Structure 1
Amino acid sequence: MLSPPFALERSPQIHRDQASLPSHRVGCEFTIVETILVFPFVLLLFISSPIMASIVRNVVNWSAQHGRSSPQMQSDMCEVCGKRPKFVEKGHKHPYCGRTCASKTSQSSGKSSSPTTPITVNTTTAKTCLIPGCPYDAKFQGYCDPEHAMEAVKSGQAQGCDMCHDQPVSINIRASRGSSARKLCVGCNRALTGGTQLKELGNRDSQFQDVRKRFIQEWNVQGEALPTVNKVYQVIVPRDHLSRYAAHKKTLHKAQEMRTYHASLMLCDLGTKGPFICERQGCGICSVLRSSFETFAFGDKHQQGRFGPGIYTQMNPKLADKEATTITTSPYRIMVACDILVDADQEPISMDDEPAFTKTSDAIKAAYVIVYSM
């Protein structure tokens, strides 16, 4: 062990060397060297520690949750745009959100395998949609919906109806009344065999002018823009329903006929492609036209309201307009002008907010289909 004198002999030299340099520089030189030697070991210990592992796991989990949607959420979104939820019709989930994305899907699938000549197939026995690549059940003339049926006709995969040229021919149907050679779809055959039909009125027709004038006058609103009536279709009601309507009228003590309005969800292009009633169950307007108010959208047998199950319409078309919704790209709104039978002895209906209510479809008939825009 060195004696204190030896230590004192060396210390003046060390102090002189240190005195010639700034004090903090000597300390820094020692710290940097020490850090370089020790840093790898400290870093290894920090990474392997439980705290660091927990931090890494939390970062990874946060990235997974915010970086992508869950598989369930992805499966519920439209397979074309991925921005809106898939359209669900009576428990059946379609792969798209609406008609626009459906048409894109149809075009892409139709281009891949379109035959050069139309094919006549038995659309009534098909189990899955006949559009190539579509896995959904055939619920509409061999296709999952009217859009795919129309796309098949446009692309030449199916033979089109001789009357409307839009929907595929139904192999089990032939038109009556001496026109058996014509090949028709279900809708056109129904029209020719006594079902509900629509007749477009010219804008100079007196009926058109009367319907338009009354529609605007009864649009009971102040300080707001009034609608523009673009088209009017006269509803040709089946004879059997007219008979029931007349029979019900006789049961009333003082029968009175009133004009009311009905609007609902639209799933077709009624108003843009002629006076054709679609066969889609989810289409509210076409459902009441086909069935004479015996069936509503999605197969419902009645509507629900403050007076119980039955049929609800409005005297003020402005109030009915709240129900005029659509998933199509049509610029129009659709409303049915109805005639209902009420007993003159009952309390009068207010046009402000009171709906007109009938318990039976025998007390109501469709008169006109009004195509309008705001």
Structure 2
Amino acid sequence: MNAAVPPILSVLGTMAGQYIASQGQAAQTKQPVPANVTTQQFTGTATPAICDICKVRPKYFDGKRTHSYCGKTCATAAQNKHVPNSKPKRNKTSKATRGLCDHCHKQPKYNDGTTTHSYCGKTCAQKAKTAGTPAAQPIQLANPAKNGCLLCGKAVKSKGHFCSQACTSKAEKSAPGLIEVPQGHDTFKSVAAQFKTSWRHQTPCPTVRKVHKVIASPASIAKYDAYRAAVEGRGNFVAAGRSAGNENRRWHGTTRECNLGDNGNCTLCSSQTCSLCCILRTSYNLNLFGKKTGWGRFGQGIYTSSTSSKSNDYSTNINSSLRLKAMLLNKVVVGKGYKMTQDNTSLTAPPTGYDSVLAEVVNGGSLNYDELVCYTNDAIRPSYLVMYDA
């Protein structure tokens, strides 16, 4: 019995050796695990596929394929070292920043309904152009001929220059200031047409080159609106088919020391003697009456005219080399105007029961062209700055 044991053990040992050998061969011919999955070692533990460059971090897997490197840094390093098959990981723009202005990176890019521009608006487009950013072009407002918003170009549903309270508030924050009106805009056409049709001197009418909307402070506009409402309450002009307070647009020429309005310059100068910028900053001031001429045909008042060529006589550039002249188109509360044809330099207010003086041209009168004179600061506000050929 004991003699038969050794042969049996020998057979079992031979069979065990053959089994182990077959398992080893199977392990050697096993298919490799894809790189994006942990590789399986014979020890039974899992280790990640390691970056070909740093040999520390796992290779980057984008959901479809495994790249050769852990990220952009190592991919770039591999490219600089000319490592074969080195492709940097694409740096995708996040959805949060895609479509934002190329300059401020805060506001969405402006879309005019056809094209998405590089910038959120005219301000950033101009800043980018000044900074020398490639392909920085000022944006054009959408549908300018249809009286679009002067800030964003969207359609304006109600009377005014801005499409929403948001754009109105944004404009007011720049007060006192100017916003350039595109040449195709209804406002530009209206102002330029009034300038041309009211040019009555026997000289060629200059071409209007620029029109800027004047942005006054809400407090300044509130005072004007209150005065207009008071005049309307006395005169009931709306019931007669006129505008509230019998408001009209009238021209005023003055002195310009700076280059405001030229080459896109919308920044008021700080000179206390630049009449143009002083008017735009705080509106008209009766305390400055007679500063230029020393007198007035109809006393101490603020003078405007419906004749653009009349106001042109008072439009002066201190710098004679400037090729454009400046003129203001104002909104004026005429109310009940007192008609006069002869001078009265002693006036400090209109006659009792009237709100202004209407100086008319008649045969034998002292005027060649009409004038409108108001005697309170709140009866007038500048609306547009018009730049025209000198």
Greater gyration radius: 2
Q: TM-score, normalised by structure 1?
A: 0.45
Q: TM-score, normalised by structure 2?
A: 0.44
